[in-house]
Structure 1
Amino acid sequence: MSEFQSLVDKMKVLGVKRVFIKPLANNDNSKQQIYLGSDFEVIRALPSGDVYSAGITKKGAIFKASVDFRWINLEGQTDLAPNTQIILYPKYPETRLSGFLSGCSKEKAIAPRHLMQPPTAEERAARQDAKRYLVLGVNDETVWAHCSGWDGALHDEIKAIIEGDDVRLVASVFYEYTLSKVSSEEKLLQKLKEIYLQGFIESCRLNSEGELIAYKAQNGAGYTLEAQFGITPNGSSDPDFMDWELKSHSSGAVTLMTPEPNIGTYLDDLETFLRAYGTRIEPERMDFASRHNVNELNKKTSLTMRFEGYDPQSGEILEPDGGLMLRDAKGVLVAGWKFEKLIFHWKKKHTNTCFVSYTAIRETPPKYQYGPKVVLGKGTNLQLFLKALYLSTIYYDPGVNRKLVAGKWKSKKRNQFRISWRNIESLYADLKTVSLDAL
């Protein structure tokens, strides 16, 4: 067995689902960090912790996210690199990996310190055309890493793989080695074809125990589709199926994400918030539900959405603590989504998105048939996302309320960010329409 295949097999035993290869240049070292591309796509390929603001320097605003990063040698021994993090520089834009040797055990000698040292001038010249290869095995939580030398059996095997047909370019700098001959897109479409052929499905959802239960309300299309994939509606921001986010779609607007604000008086007390800015529909109900566009006063709520710390001309983040901020007439910050929150949700939710058309029979409970039209969206980037928020192409359309039920007030928090279907192409570099009938 080849050294590379042996390494991949050891990674698979550890739960690895995807394998990436990153050719390393001279400047990819422990001092200058490892370059991960200019389009931020890599932060969606690699699992990480929450994105947080690291302030502003001469390089502009900086954001960071920790990574559960572990080195693995060819014998299968591992060592944690506890200080590994991804660093985002939106001004350039640029993404780098740092701290991948810090805290590693020198006694174990598993981390490839000798391969990650900054080169001398002589070494830099001698290795100008030579590459090391960083192999990354990832699952939903962890990155397992191994680095080849500038030559040797493993180096030669990986070089041949990259030059062959068993890899595809991902996030502009990675080559993904195919663990399966069937891609995630093909598996997704196969599953959707099975669901389409079932015909109309009675509205349902999975409860917290994973049990299928009826859902009688008329907004069950998404829940019913997720139930067919075994997805519990738990508010997780992770993709729904492998690296795909599922969105049921009939017409009109599509809900892209539902992040809660992470700043503002909204967080203090929902009842006070609703009494100040909501609408009293009846004695037993208070609602906060109205579209808010950037730089426009919402007459219903008397609030204005601002996109603060963002330069629309350059697309640059000027203030890392800025973001979408909802303010009242006195400038009081009522609710806000800081850039770190917006970037984190963009990172988690929109790697690839599959929009599944459906037809509904409006009974009680309703019934849904999914397909045959499916639209696959790929290639969105952070700049497009931020621009769409500034232009209100993606707009805030909350569905927050409190209801008096059996003598007790029950709250519902659904802070929706939506986009009109006719504008969906503004988010993706590649949109492909597929007919399940043709598969």
Structure 2
Amino acid sequence: MTLNDVAKVMFTNGANRVLVKRLANNDNSKNQIYLGSDFDVIRIIPSGEMRCAGVSKKGPIFKASLNLFWLNTSGNLEQAKYSQIILYPNYPETRMSGFLKGCTLSPSHLMQPPTPQQRKQRADKHRFLILGVNEKNVFAYCTGWDDPVSDELNQAIDNDKLLKVATVFYEYVQTGKSTQQKLVEKLHAIYLSGEIESCRLNKQGVMQPYTALNGAGYTLEAQFGITPNGCSDPDFFDWELKAHSGSVVTLMTPEPNIGSYLDDLETFLRQYGTRKTADRLDFASKHLVGNFNIKTALTMHLDGYDPVSKGITDPSGGLFLKNASGEIVAGWSFDKIIDHWKKKHSNTCFVSYTIRKSSLNYYQFGPEITLGKGTSFDRFLEALYTNVIYYDPGINMKFNGQTWKPKKRNQFRVKWNNISFLYEFLQTIDLSEI
């Protein structure tokens, strides 16, 4: 098989990206497979729900299952049901384990710990782990040390023919353009189309007018065929789209998974919200970590986080809104935050826009767009602790004459001028100059 043959089987089975890792001797069934020193990899390799798994010598542990299938040279697939990804946020380190157990097609003969003699013999040779990924599945293939595909990959990497991603991986593209090139071309066409009437797609994918004030994001997503279904997967291949007008950007909107908020929203709003009219309850006030909010009488805490080491000390901790008695009224555990963060912050494209107000607003997207890459989870937690990122909910309940109808929007936001704190790499492109 050639690399193209392997990739073709993966694409045929539904993969939309092919990733390659050059394996070291220590990448084996005993030591697990090393996936990098940060969490970049969990944003490109799909995994199940993140869960707290206690504390080890390396500090707190978080795990998530992988829907991983091994394939052989004949193109046959078999699931490795015990595969999982393991995160050590304080080390920091990410590894893959359980990838051989219970799977007859797994390359167990290529994953045995080497003897000292084998380690010496293979000093200048490499196996390669090839992963085809889509939104849910991982298709895996491993080469041998003297495999023709290994030779092909060594040459491609040494000659800079593959794009490096997620620290220790490379991406193989058969033909065509990168996802970034496709994104920029699409946005360029949207910019050239001029003003766009405020709209959104309904559940059936049909375009319809949108009259509310927050139409910029919906209108932009509609141009990409994205329905506003609350899905936290990236919007365009591995890119998340964010429309911004130069003031504030909403990063994510995860629902709390802890606290009395979950028990009864009406009771929560009556206790900690405000009543603007007889038929409306609101919870809409900015909360900063370590600051008492006079309006709600609540304080935001980042429990289990050490600001000195910038690491997690207690994996059962998280971001918690507490009342004067210290009770958690709404909160997001660390595993919940990681789970949402991994899906929403792979690569982000911030699209500027201007608005012409009318009975239906009109939006002009561009010409400036900003591409953000290389955000890390420890950077995200530090931004929360230092109030660069803040909680700014827009939650209400309205009485329609018979029942109270809820609207939930738990927003985590950042001022546009502070966006550079979140990314290692920012690139601004002027679409009018393309």
Structure 1 length normalisation: TM-score? 0.97
Listed as ranges, the gaps of 5+ residues in structure 1 are: none
Residues 1:169 and 2:164 aligned together: yes
Partner of 2:351: 356
Matches within 5 A, 1:191-202: 191-202=186-197
1:327 aligns with 2:322: yes
Decide which of 384, 393, 397 is 1:402's aligned counterpart: 397
Give the Cα–Cα distance (whole angstroms) in 1 for the partners of residues 147 and 347 of structure 2. Answer: 37
Q: Which residue of 1 aligns with 2:17?
A: 18
Secondary structure class of the residue paired with 2:214: coil
1:280 aligns with 2:271: no
Find the counterpart in structure 1 of residue 185 from structure 2: 190
Structure 2: how far apart are the matches of 1:296 and 1:7?
A: 54
**Rounded Cα–Cα distance in structure 2 between residues aligned with 1:88 and 1:281:** 45
Task: Spell out, residue by residue over 1:199-243, the C-alpha distance to the aligned partner (whole angstroms, 9 max, x if none).
Answer: 111111011111111111111010011001000001111000111
Shift of residue 406, structure 1, vs aligned partner:
4.5
Q: How many residues align?
A: 434
* Partner SS state of residue 364, structure 2: strand
Q: Which residue of 2 aligns with 1:345?
A: 340
Aligned equivalents of 1:270, 1:180: Cα separation in 2: 51
Matched residue, 1:89 = 88
Hey, what's the Cα distance between the residues in 1 that align with 2:373 and 2:90? 24
Q: Which deviates the most, 171-180 or 236-245?
A: 171-180
Deviation at 1:128, TM superposition (A): 2.4
- Matched residue SS, 1:260: coil
Identity level (%):
58
For the pair 1:220 / 2:215, whether they are aligned, the reply is yes
For 1:185 and 1:298, the matched residues in 2 are separated by 41
8 Å Cα contact 2:4-2:174 kept in structure 1? no
Superimposed CA distance per residue, residues 66-86 of structure 1 (whole angstroms, 9 cap, x where no aligned partner): 111111111101111000000
Q: CA deviation at 1:193?
A: 1.1
Q: What is the SS of the residue equivalent to 1:172?
A: coil
Aligned pair partner of 2:228 in 223, 230, 233 = 233
Paired residue secondary structure (1:347)? helix
Residues 386-401 of structure 1 mapped to structure 2, 5 A cutoff: 386-401=381-396
* TM-score for the superposition, normalised by structure 2: 0.98
Contact 1:402 1:410 survives alignment (8 Å) = yes
Q: Partner amino acid for 1:325?
A: F
* Cα deviation code 1:318-355 (max 9, x no counterpart): 11010101000001110011101111111100111111
1:19–1:179 Cα contact (<8 Å) kept = no
Distance between the aligned counterparts of 2:194 and 2:154, measured in 1? Answer: 48
Question: For 1:218 and 1:20, how far apart are their aligned partners in 2?
Answer: 41
SS in 2 for 1:281: strand
Q: 1:365: Cα distance to partner?
A: 1.3
1:378-424 C-alpha deviation (Å, 9 max, x unpaired): 11111111100111110000001001124432100100000000100
What is the distance in 2 between the residues matched to 1:314 and 1:49?
28
Q: Deviations over 1:56-97 (max 9, x none)?
A: 122210001111111111110111100000000012100000
Contact 2:63–2:87 (8 Å) recurs in 1 = yes
1:3 aligns with 2:2: yes
| Secondary structure at the counterpart of residue 101 of structure 1 | coil
1:166, 1:178 within 8 Å by CA — same for their partners in 2? Answer: no
Residue equivalent to 2:297: 302
CA distance, structure 2, for counterparts of residue 155 and residue 256 of structure 1: 40
Cα shift readout 1:348-381 (whole Å, capped 9, x = no counterpart): 0011111111111111211111011111111111
- What is the CA–CA distance in structure 1 between the aligned matches of 2:366 and 2:318, rounded to whole Å? 37
Matched residues in 1 for 2:149 and 2:209: separation? 54
1:313 aligns with 2:308: yes
Q: In the alignment, residue 361 of structure 1 is paired with which amino acid? A: R
Say whether residues 1:383 and 2:378 are aligned partners. yes
Q: Aligned residue for 2:202?
A: 207
Note the alpha carbon deviations across 1:260-281, whole angstroms, 9 max, x for none.
0010110000000000000011
In 2, Cα distance between equivalents of 1:165 and 1:31 = 31
Question: Is the 1:70–1:78 contact (alpha carbons within 8 Å) kept by the matching residues of 2?
Answer: yes
From 259, 269, 290, the equivalent of 1:264 is 259
Which whole-Å CA distance do the structure 2 matches of 1:328 and 1:139 have between them?
42
Residue of structure 1 in register with 2:408 after alignment: 413
Secondary structure of the equivalent of 1:359? strand
Partner SS, residue 130 of structure 2? strand
Partner of 1:146: 141
- Flag as ranges the 4+ runs of structure 1 deviating above 6 A: none
- Code of the residue aligned with 2:95 in structure 1: it is R
How far does the alpha carbon of each residue in 1:96-123 deviate from its partner, in whole angstroms, 9 at most, with x for none?
Answer: 0000001113xxxx21110001112222
124, 133, 155: which is aligned to 2:119? Answer: 124
C-alpha distance in 2, partners of 1:160/1:57? 39
Specify the code of the residue in structure 2 equivalent to 1:324.
L
8 Å CA contact 1:3–1:74 kept in 2: the answer is no
CA distance in 2, matches of 1:175, 1:61: 28
1:49 maps to: 48
**Residue pair 2:347, 2:373 contacting (<8 A) in 1 also:** yes
Give 1:254's aligned amino acid: V
Residue identity opposite 1:62 in structure 2: I
What is the alpha-carbon distance in structure 2 between the residues aligned to residue 263 and residue 57 of structure 1? 25
The equivalent of 2:245 in structure 1 is 250
| Cα RMSD, aligned residues only | 1.1
Aligned partner letter, 1:5: N
Structure-2 separation of matches of 1:238 and 1:375: 20
